Amino acid sequence: MASWKHFKDFLKKNSMAKLKPAVNDGDHMQGNTAAPVQFVEYGDYQCPHCAAAFPMIKQICKKFKDELLFVFRHFPLTEIHPMAQPAAMAAEAAGLQGRFWEMHDLIFENQPALQPAFFLLLAEKLKLNLRNFQRDLQDSRLAEKVDAQFESGVISGVNGTPSFFINGNKYEGDYNIQSLSRAIKSAITQKA
């Protein structure tokens, strides 16, 4: 006969938010694609909490380089961050020229300066084809990709940014390097 504790553990385990869809070829990834840990962030380029998490994520990716695949998905909170959607579009437009991660980093590093004209300066700095970049900023397919990632976040239980998933499970711990590192180490150990 199952105990009440087992029942509560079952409920907790089965009510845990899961990543939907799973990491796939449409995602922007950094790191080892065969890594034992997939670390997914749903982020908003204008969110101050995401900007604060940005250097921490860089440290974590460096620390766990061969054991970690990092994925970034867009979750622009447009009602409170009007430049989040244009920034996501700029990152996606840069991605069409193979420079998503460089644009991603520059956007977070320069978050207070986010304006449409500034994205062109960043594109110029990255030596992108500016004509193509400007055209791609208006591409409805890129807007649909950003919207689809936002919707996947809602389905996955994201209710704010940044939100993290480790191996498909929503991370509910503290957002500091020690807590995230412990959770990632635990996930590595479970896969071993």
List the structure tokens of 122.
Answer: 């960043």
What architecture is the 24-191 domain classified under in CATH? 3-Layer(aba) Sandwich (3.40)
What confidence score (pLDDT) does residue 175 get?
Answer: 87
What confidence score (pLDDT) does residue 15 get?
Answer: 47
User: What is the rounded CA–CA span in Å between residue 168 and residue 77?
Assistant: 22
**Sorting pLDDT into bands at 50, 70 and 90, what band is 11?**
very low
Residue 86's alpha-carbon distances to 74, 157, 190, in angstroms, are 11, 24, 39
* pTM of the entire predicted model: 0.90
Spatial CA neighbour of 158 closest among 179, 172, 173, 142: 172
pLDDT tens, position by position, 47-92? 999 999 999 999 999 999 999 999 999 999 999 999 999 999 999 9
For the cut 80, the answer to whether the pLDDT of residue 40 exceeds it is yes
What confidence score (pLDDT) does residue 88 get?
Answer: 98
Q: Write out the H or E segment, with its range, that includes residue 60.
A: helix 48-63
User: What is the rounded CA–CA span in Å between residue 65 and residue 59?
Assistant: 10
pLDDT tens, position by position, 145-191? 999 999 999 999 999 999 999 999 999 999 899 999 999 999 999 98
What confidence score (pLDDT) does residue 16 get?
Answer: 62
Spatial CA neighbour of 54 closest among 63, 43, 69: 43
Instruction: Give the chain's end-to-end CA distance (angstroms, integer).
Output: 32
